Structure 1
Amino acid sequence: MIEPYPLRFKPVLKQTLWGGRLLGEQLGKPIGNDANYAESWEVVDHGTDQSIVQSGCLAGKSLRELLLNHREWLMGDAEEDQFPLLLKYLDCNRVLSVQVHPSDDYGAKMTIPDRGKTEAWYIVAAKPDSVVYAGLKPGIGETELRNAIQQGTADEVLHQFHPEPGSCVFIPAGTVHALGEGLLVAEIQQSSDTTFRLFDWNRVDSQGNARELHIQAGIDVTDFSRGPVQPIQVKTGVHAWQTLVMCDKFVLRAFDSGSQPQQGEEFGDDDHFHILTIPKGTATLTTENEEIPLATGDSLLLPAALGQVRVDLAANSTALEMIAV
């Protein structure tokens, strides 16, 4: 039996046209010299995208290998054949496309089956004029959405707001959405990479080509009854974990120290794995056997066998903790 310990993975970095430099400059990710680093996948088991353990007796092992060879140690009583969640950071240096994700039922019927994608965003940083597009405005149906896409005015039918750092936005499958320019975001989602792009702001590449859209599939999976999505604000300086999202896919909690250091409540020892990340400031994770310092941008997967742990925060720091349901 392997002695349980917190697992730190090598980030899987993604470059796209809307990325920037913040993953390295603010979160300490090992980016190169390019200016288009968009995503850092912190914990992932999805096809060829695999988290690789950085240290300890499991160094070099992928998350898929851990699931196959040490399922109960990692997952507790869960009977998943794939790790169910994906944690990533996103640098939205430019506005992302307007998109929507399918449900599990729809995803299972696709030519290449995949999970559906319910997700939640934690806003790490935001420029004052940054915008989140989350849900359709009241009264918008299929006809109005399709017409807006065709006319190049999709933003006019989307609910939008200027997000505050420290706020959370819950995006269930079927919710039309887009992240605007100037946002640094932590995202927890189902382990899926299925996105239907409805509108890309009339952008073209250097050859004059537009990115592929998936308008019919996107409209097919859109939940037109959902309406506008409002942000959830994390309270600062509360000496307790705050539940931000509790849905049928995952639970997302936040712990924010405010202006003073805070000792956290113990958690774990519940036959579940836990994912922990530090989007702001610094922290210390205390297990039965060690104390682990955590810097901004650090992420850990705590196997179910690890038992009880505690996270203590320095002043002006935040921790996010996630489990699958």
Structure 2
Amino acid sequence: MTRSLPELYPLRFEPIFRRYLWGGRRLGTELGKPIGPGEDFAESWELVDHGDDQSVVAAGPLKTWTLQRLFHEYGGALFGAEFDAWQAVERPEALARRFPLLFKFLDCHRDLSIQIHPNDAQARGQSPPDLGKTEAWIVMHAAPGATVYAGLKEGVDAAGLRNAIETGRISEVLHRFEPRVGDCIFVPAGTVHGLGAGFLVAEIQQASDTTFRLYDWDRTDAQGRGRPLHIEESLAVLSDSPGPVQPVKPAFVSESRERLVHCDKFALDRLRMDSAMPVGDGQSFHLLAVLEGAVRVDGDVGGDEVKRGQTVLIPAACEAVTIEPTRGGATVLDIYWPSGRGESDRA
């Protein structure tokens, strides 16, 4: 007898909080997250399927289901038309069966380390194997003078970076700039990067937790110990194009939709809404993250509206779902799987 699964609907998940020395309180004070006491709340993982880190459905018939279970049970009905192609790529089974994206909010109360992530081919060689990590940030708040480090200065190559590390001058070879609220910064795997103090950002990335730390601003803990650095690992995964990264120039798809990133790992659009609009066509899931204002989502059982700092996953099987701003206007990220890229596992 075939087991009947509940019908899919727009899904909200419980956030998972990460506490690091660079975190603060903005996840609670600005985004309304239910953080507890403490001054080091750094990340709110909104959507994740990575080992023991599992998003859990917050409401409706699928309440308490993990994202991993949803992905396994519903397959293409959740993911979309590229599901079979994604599963068929030659890689360890655990990676093929993982929902490939992770979304989070970050409170950068203090400087983050300068770091780098491997690409897919390099990450498969880790123990345990992982996905690579290409990511994109969208700036939600930037304090005066807050600085992003993204890529190396023009003309600096791997040899120049090694020399800067060995002579204690790494900060001198990093490309840096002060982004504005609303800027999107695309960071491909193999790019040296870091967020300075004073940011609240939204981040979409591959579902990976492999990070190599190059520099940590000479910080030490109460016992005088620094966090581990991974110099040789970092240099080994440095991109052949390590040069400066600039904010993305949006491409206007329509009056209300801007295309920020369309790569082989994810597609990222920004919706600037003043009226109702449909999202989805049955070809891919759509993860909606509200940056400003609030929206009502047809079929959402998690509450009256999706507010700033909240997310909802629209399964592909829901096809076109109407979303409508409830407070005059809203800015929403729309993240989905790029058409024709299910087969991609390139470096």
**TM-score interval, normalised by the smaller of the two chains:** over 0.9
Q: Does 1:199 align with 2:215?
A: yes
Secondary structure in 2 matching 1:16: strand
Matches within 5 A, 1:292-303: 292-303=304-315
- Once superposed, what is the RMSD of the aligned Cα atoms? 2.0
Gaps of 5+ in 1: none
Instruction: Give the 3 Å change call, closer, same or farther, for CA 315–232 of structure 1 in structure 2.
Output: farther
Please state how far the C-alpha of 1:72 moved relative to its aligned partner: 2.8
Please state how far the C-alpha of 1:286 moved relative to its aligned partner: 3.1
Task: State which of 58, 69, 73 in structure 2 corresponds to 1:54.
Answer: 58
Distance 2:142 2:69 in 1: 37
Matches within 5 A, 1:74-153: 74-77=78-81, 78-79=83-84, 80=87, 81-153=97-169
Please state how far the C-alpha of 1:112 moved relative to its aligned partner: 1.3
Q: Does 1:253 align with 2:269?
A: yes
Please state how far the C-alpha of 1:96 moved relative to its aligned partner: 0.5
Instruction: Give the 3 Å change call, closer, same or farther, for CA 288–18 of structure 1 in structure 2.
Output: closer
Aligned residues: 320
Please state how far the C-alpha of 1:307 moved relative to its aligned partner: 1.3
Q: Does 1:318 align with 2:334?
A: no
Q: In structure 2, what is the equivalent of residue 26 of structure 1?
A: 30
Distance 2:204 2:300 in 1: 27
Instruction: Give the 3 Å change call, closer, same or farther, for CA 218–322 of structure 1 in structure 2.
Output: same
Distance 1:82 1:322 in 2: 17
Matches within 5 A, 1:139-288: 139-232=155-248, 239-257=255-273, 262-287=274-299
Please state how far the C-alpha of 1:324 moved relative to its aligned partner: 2.2
2:99–2:207 CA contact under 8 A, matched in 1 = yes
Secondary structure in 2 matching 1:317: strand
Please state how far the C-alpha of 1:272 moved relative to its aligned partner: 1.1
Q: In structure 2, what is the equivalent of residue 4 of structure 1?
A: 8
Distance 2:300 2:43 in 1: 33
Distance 1:241 1:309 in 2: 16
**Structure 2 letter corresponding to 1:269:** D
Distance 1:111 1:288 in 2: 39
Distance 2:46 2:206 in 1: 13
Distance 1:234 1:319 in 2: 14
2:296–2:323 CA contact under 8 A, matched in 1 = yes
**Structure 2 letter corresponding to 1:28:** G
Q: TM-score, normalised by structure 1?
A: 0.93
Instruction: Determine what percentage of the aligned residue pairs are the same residue.
Output: 46
Q: TM-score, normalised by structure 2?
A: 0.87
Distance 1:244 1:235 in 2: 7
Instruction: Give the 3 Å change call, closer, same or farther, for CA 240–297 of structure 1 in structure 2.
Output: same
Instruction: Give the 3 Å change call, closer, same or farther, for CA 283–234 of structure 1 in structure 2.
Output: farther
**Structure 1 letter corresponding to 2:44:** S
Secondary structure in 2 matching 1:281: strand
Secondary structure in 1 matching 2:76: helix
Q: Does 1:73 align with 2:112?
A: no
**Structure 2 letter corresponding to 1:59:** K
Instruction: Give the 3 Å change call, closer, same or farther, for CA 173–253 of structure 1 in structure 2.
Output: same
Instruction: Name the structure with the higher strand share.
Output: 1
Distance 1:91 1:305 in 2: 34
Gaps of 5+ in 2: 88-96, 339-347
Distance 2:29 2:300 in 1: 33
Secondary structure in 2 matching 1:263: coil
Distance 1:136 1:290 in 2: 44
2:12–2:311 CA contact under 8 A, matched in 1 = yes
Larger mean CA deviation between 84-93 and 151-160 belongs to 151-160
Distance 2:336 2:128 in 1: 27
